[in-house]
Homo-oligomer: A and B are copies of this chain.
Amino acid sequence: MKSDAVVETIRIYPLQDIPLIHSGDDLCTIIIKSVHSNKFQLSNGDILVIAQKIVSKSEGRLVNLKQIQPSKRSIELASLTEKDPRLVELILNESKKVIRCIKGLIVVQNHQGVILANAGIDHSNVEQDNEKEQVLLLPKNPDGSAKTIHKKLLARTGSHLGVIINDSIGRAWRNGSIGTAIGVAGLPAILDLKGREDLYGNQLQVSEQAIADELASAASLIQGQADEALPVVLIKGFKTFLDEIPASGLIRDIKKDLFL
């Protein structure tokens, strides 16, 4: 059985002129405008990787810490971890389980099942002023956000595009964070290779390739994490024609997880 993915050169293009995003902005309009001004042609199977931050901002997920009243549990955990109790309140609201905590760090499983530090809440690249202490939450339903963007882009461009919402997430055991897919539409987040044959015709045993995470990492090389201001990346040349699997398919079933 041959590979389902067509192997050619993969090209990863930054969209150079995405403006700062505010609540209510229509990302699709902004992306299409940028695609045109960058003189890109969209084709079926092209993939757009969009940084979580601009999706969250467009969805109004900024929260002013000054308006948060922490619960007793948040105050206790804040004391234990030496974190702001209002931020801890938000972290717990976004999570179904606290996995680990130490000074300065709370690792949780969020409502989508993703395990990450501080529920992905961040205040880098969030405008601050004296009136507000703003932090940015992850999108409420990243697979749903990706699906909406995928559908709108299909309606407006006629192209069936893969859409990945990525965030930079830490891992167990390894230093540094890597681009990781938290929302996926229009492509399978994971490829099942079982039954495929190796070079010698032996059946493969290991078996699943998390291509959406690999694409999210590839895009992260361009997006950077600081002042690059390149939140949208276009990937051409990696085409898979299998059915859509959302990012929820990347979350290991708790019954099969040896590390929870």
Using CB atoms and an 8 Å cutoff, list the residues of chain A in contact with chain B. 2-3, 5, 7-14, 20, 100, 102, 105, 107, 115, 117, 122-128, 168, 171-179, 190-191, 193, 196-200, 202, 204-206, 208-211, 213-215, 217-218, 220-222, 224-230, 237-238, 249-252, 257-260
Contacts and interface: CB of A to CB of B under 8 A. Distances in A.
5 contacts: A3-B228, A7-B228, A9-B12, A128-B200, A168-B209
A122 B206 contact: yes
Contact of A214 (B175, B179, B196): B179
Nearest to A116: B173
Q: Which of A7, A20, A230 has the most CB of B within 10 A?
A: A7
A197 B178 contact: no
Nearest to A20: B199
Contacts of A211: 176, 221
B214 A220 contact: yes
Given A172-B259, A209-B220, A213-B174, A226 B251 contact: no
Contact of A174 (B12, B174, B198, B251): B251
Contacts of A11: 9-12
A164 to B, nearest CB: 12
A95 B198 CA distance: 26
Nearest to A2: B227
A227 B7 CA distance: 12
A20 to B, nearest CB: 7
Contacts of A227: 2-3, 196-199
Contacts of A202: 123-125, 128
A112 B217 CA distance: 23
B210 A258 contact: no
Contacts of A258: 100, 102, 105, 107, 172
A259 B206 contact: no
A176 B199 CA distance: 21
Given A3-B227, A100-B258, 15 more contacts: A8-B14, A9-B11, A12-B12, A20-B199, A124-B205, A125-B198, A125-B200, A125-B202, A172-B257, A175-B210, A176-B190, A176-B208, A209-B220, A209-B224, A209-B225
A179 B259 CA distance: 20
A96 B20 CA distance: 49
Contact of A204 (B197, B200, B226): B226
A258 B107 CA distance: 9
Contact of A7 (B3, B20, B210, B224): B224
